[in-house]
Amino acid sequence: MSRPTIIINELDAERIDRLLEKPEFASLPVADALNEELDRAQMCTPESMPKDVVTMNSQVTFRDLSTGETRTRTLVYPANMTDSSTQLSVLAPVGAALLGLRTGDTIHWELPGGTAAHLEVLELLYQPEAAGEYLR
């Protein structure tokens, strides 16, 4: 699996850690992979987050390099998920794969059922940290 360097802000990492400690999420297939991503991530403060990194509540356009399909979604926590046509949960395999990537990065990511996704981040349309929104 190809894993580019990822950057996660400390507040997002803490919130995701707490989420993954809950029994209803800890047993999900994506939980172990997301924990591994948090362990290997470069951490930074929200204020020092580079403006081209996918963070929580970012709106990102990405391409599935296997199918050529392009999608734009806002990366959200499961509790905030209201519309799968515009949002993507960080606990969905593709959501977990996108977290911490920079514009232009690609990643191979294992999906449930033994398949894999090959994703490319095309554009960051909105990032809370770049907008000065540091959800504390």
Q: State both tokens at 111.
A: 């999906």
Asked if residues 120 and 97 have their Cβ atoms less than 8 Å apart, the reply is: no
CA distance 114 to 95: 17
The tens digit of pLDDT for each residue in 19-77 reads 999 999 998 888 988 998 899 999 999 999 999 999 999 999 999 998 999 999 999 99
Q: Which residue shows structure tokens 């977990």?
A: 96
Q: What is the pTM of this model?
A: 0.92
